[in-house]
Structure 1
Amino acid sequence: MAKIIGKYFIAWIPSSEVIAKVDSIKNSLKDNFGLKYALKSPPHITLKMPFSWNEAKEHLLIQNLQKFLSHENDFTLDLDGFGKFGKRVIFIKVSRSEELVQLQSRLVQHCKQELKLVKELSDSNYHPHMTIAFKDLKTRAFEEYWNYVCKLTFCQQNQTGKIVLLKKIENSWSFFENLKSQDTLIL
């Protein structure tokens, strides 16, 4: 039997209320400008960049990550306003959270040591954000996109919703497994 390698990443997923608001913005960008690539994944904040894993050993990956995350504390995140990375990405800003930065650092280190996953450059230069447009942004029209987004408002405070494992299925990222949730949120 051939080994099947899947693509995965680990992310924080907000409450269903925030998901609906972010999806509304993504859909607005699609309707107004044809920007649809960001709709291929649910609203999230990446904690561990995409990696490859043997599908036959998914249960070991899930057990390992759930055990690691069971010792992590919950925290509040503030999502406020918009930002950009050059003319490549437009995102919702995540206010500085030392708890999030420390969790991401511990998780990446755990993944490197225990799961033998590669530490990506963006794992080291962590800048938490929630992407709303990328990849299909056209440089010549970027100012038009940016001006449109700057007229919107976005301000939400969220307890840690879920930390999940997402899997690439048919060119889209899908929820695969819940790794940690906070009981007080209904998602």
Structure 2
Amino acid sequence: MQKYFVAIVPPEEVQAQAQEVKEAVRDKFNAKHALKSPAHVTLKMPFVWNEHKEDKLVGLLEDFFKERAHFQVEFKGIGRFGRRIMYARVHGGDALTEMQEAFSHYCKRTLKLNIELSDKAFTPHVTLVYSDLKKRFFDECWAMLKERGFYAKMDVQQVALLKKVNYRWQIVEMIALGPVL
């Protein structure tokens, strides 16, 4: 059994911007947990799947996503979940929300995965700082990220299946969305 999750992985220029922020936080505040995965917008939180049936999982994901059209997302500004996590805000409109909601139901019905609280209360974001940031540095780090900001756009044409390998998340498959409508 292995851990997987499904996400939108932004293009290189957005990855570079996120990496820059994560490294600045690591260098200044020694918070480095966010460096364990590429920048991403989670569509399905980590779940356990039989690694020997990974090809079947990929096929099932392809079946779902080939029916979804490309859409635009915009990364605009910085947000936070309480005093634990800081992130880049992601705006994808109805297309992103509807896709995630349909995917959540598909995961339950077809992949036999549980619907998580995060599936029901979907807040699209790219995590930049995890809860390994010491509490005494939170306000200073928050001010630094707010001043820096985070802005980019992308056309979502594919999603990624990621797998945990040696305590880090790695992309194992990119899955194309269907044609633009």
Secondary structure in structure 1 of the residue aligned to 2:47? strand
1:160–1:182: 8 Å Cα contact kept in structure 2?
no
Deviation, 1:95, is 2.1
- Structure 2 residue aligned with 1:134: 130
- What is the number of residues matched between the two proteins? 180
Deviation, 1:33, is 1.1
Structure 1: give runs of 5+ residues left out of the alignment. none
- One-letter amino acid of the structure 2 residue matched with residue 10 of structure 1: V
Question: Which whole-Å deviations, capped at 9, do the CAs of 1:31-50 have from their partners, x for residues lacking one?
Answer: 11111100000000000011
Question: Which whole-Å deviations, capped at 9, do the CAs of 1:40-79 have from their partners, x for residues lacking one?
Answer: 0000000001100011111111001011100100000010
- 1:183 & 1:32 partners in 2: Cα distance? 43
- 2:136 & 2:10 partners in 1: Cα distance? 32
1:14–1:161: 8 Å Cα contact kept in structure 2?
no
Equivalent in 101, 118, 142 of residue 122 of structure 1: 118
1:14–1:162: 8 Å Cα contact kept in structure 2?
no
Q: Identity of counterpart residues, as a percentage?
A: 37
CA gap of 1:183–1:114, structure 2 versus 1, over 3 A, is closer
- Structure 2 residue aligned with 1:99: 95
Question: Which whole-Å deviations, capped at 9, do the CAs of 1:80-114 have from their partners, x for residues lacking one?
Answer: 11000111100000125110010001111001001
1:12–1:161: 8 Å Cα contact kept in structure 2?
no
Structure 2: give runs of 5+ residues left out of the alignment. none
- 1:21 & 1:78 partners in 2: Cα distance? 14
- 1:84 & 1:165 partners in 2: Cα distance? 25
- 2:129 & 2:178 partners in 1: Cα distance? 28
CA gap of 1:96–1:69, structure 2 versus 1, over 3 A, is closer
- 2:49 & 2:165 partners in 1: Cα distance? 14
Equivalent in 30, 34, 37 of residue 34 of structure 1: 30
- Structure 1 residue aligned with 2:148: 152
- One-letter amino acid of the structure 1 residue matched with residue 62 of structure 2: Q
Runs of 4+ in structure 1 displaced over 6 angstroms?
none
Please provide the CA RMSD for this pair.
Answer: 1.6
Deviation, 1:154, is 1.8
- Structure 1 residue aligned with 2:106: 110
- One-letter amino acid of the structure 1 residue matched with residue 164 of structure 2: K
